[in-house]
Amino acid sequence: MSTARTTELRTDCSVGTDGRITLRLRLPPAARPRLVLVLRPKKGRPEEASHTLDLEPCGEHGHVRAVLEPRPVLAEGRWDAYLLRGPDAGRERLRPGLRDLRLLVHGGTREVTSPVAVRVPYATKDGFLALRTWRRTAHAEAGPLDIRDGAMTVRAHLHGAELSEGAVVRLRLRGGRGTERVYRPHPAGGGDFSFTVGYRELAEGAAGSQVWDAFLQPAADAPPIRIGRLLDDVADRKGVYVYPRVTVGGAAVRPYYTVDNDLAVEVTAAG
């Protein structure tokens, strides 16, 4: 990545009704320009996945356009956008222009089928264009969090699976070798459900800072899926959806969204 040059070309993108993403930029005439999405590897690991799109001329003024179709579903992660001006040209990292994501805004209100695939174009912290993707067999989309009287009630909607009799919500202690708390979800019809987590129970015996990750197991024999919030235009939710910190039994408890937009609860023992 460090070998890639940076281009000051701004790339506009828009998300269409069918989930198709159109990327558009203005380019001096080039032999066969392409746009490459590269899945950001874990630190110190080599790149493994990339997705190349042709940039076709569109309209006047030297604009070119690439279309990312809804299929194939991309692997979950962060995809950095690069420009290849020609067959032998080096990669140039692209800067974001206007990202028209208005059709994603109320995405939480529509039904999504399995596999749940979400793609949100965003600007990285250092100002480059990237695509945030999620790919999950099923997904529990969190809605409003009602926080009062030392407890939080989460309203959520299950996508891509059925909520059955034996469904349970599990809060798993991160790094806790299987330590978990189990809650019974209350179905509210049509895939809607809610569950309530008493803070005192989580706070008990907390030492230092602990994180509990939230999962839904839709049926007794089904694998647990993450509860998170993925279905709108907010690629990085952590600093935007901020919930109050409540002190219960000598510990501060605060739900939050992880860097992957999954729901977790942080418990910090006082002192």
Partner 1 sequence: MKISFLIHNAYGIGGTITTTFNLAGALAERHDVEIVSVLRHREHPNLTPHPDVRLRALVDLRREKDHPLHRRPAEVFPSAEYRYHQYSELTDQRIAECLRSTDADVVIGTRPGLNVHLALQAPRHVARVGQEHLTLDNHPPALRTALRRAYRHLDVLTTVTEADAGAYRRKMRLPGVRVEALANSVPDPVLPAADGNAKIVIAAGRLVPVKRYDLIVEAFAHVVAEYPDWQLRIYGKGEEQDRLRARIETLGLWNNVFLMGAATPMEAEWVKGSIGAAASDFEPFGMTIVEAMRCGLPVVSTDCPYGPGEIIRNGEDGRLVPVGDSRAFGAALLDLIRDDERRRRMGRAAVDHARRFAPGPVVARAERLLEEAVAARAGGRRGAPDRGGMHHALLSRGHAARDLAHAAASGALRTVRKGRR
Binding site for partner 1 (CB under 8 A): 8, 10, 12, 14, 98-102, 105-106, 143-145, 147, 233, 239-244
Say if CB 38 and CB 52 are below 8 A apart.
no
Angle at Cα 70 formed by Cα 65 and Cα 75, nearest 5°? 105
Compute the least distance from the CB of residue 268 to partner 1, in Å: 17
Largest CA distance in the chain: 67
Tell me the closest approach of the beta carbon of residue 144 to partner 1, in angstroms: 4
Residue 23's CB is within 10 A of a number of other CB atoms, namely 25
Distance from chain centroid for Cα 241? 13
Q: How far is the CB of 216 from partner 1 (least distance, A)?
A: 20
Rounded CA-CA distance 169/196 in Å is 10
Question: In terms of CB distance, is 145 or 222 closer to partner 1?
Answer: 145
- The DSSP bridge partners found for residue 182 are 170
Provide, rounded to whole angstroms, the least separation between the CB of residue 128 and partner 1: 12
Q: Identify whether the C-beta of residue 64 lies closer than 8 Å to the C-beta of residue 77.
A: no
Is residue 81 within 8 Å of 36, Cβ to Cβ? yes
Answer for the pair 225, 183: CB distance below 8 angstroms, yes or no.
no
Smaller CB separation from partner 1, 191 or 224: 191
Shortest Å, Cβ 117 to partner 1: 21
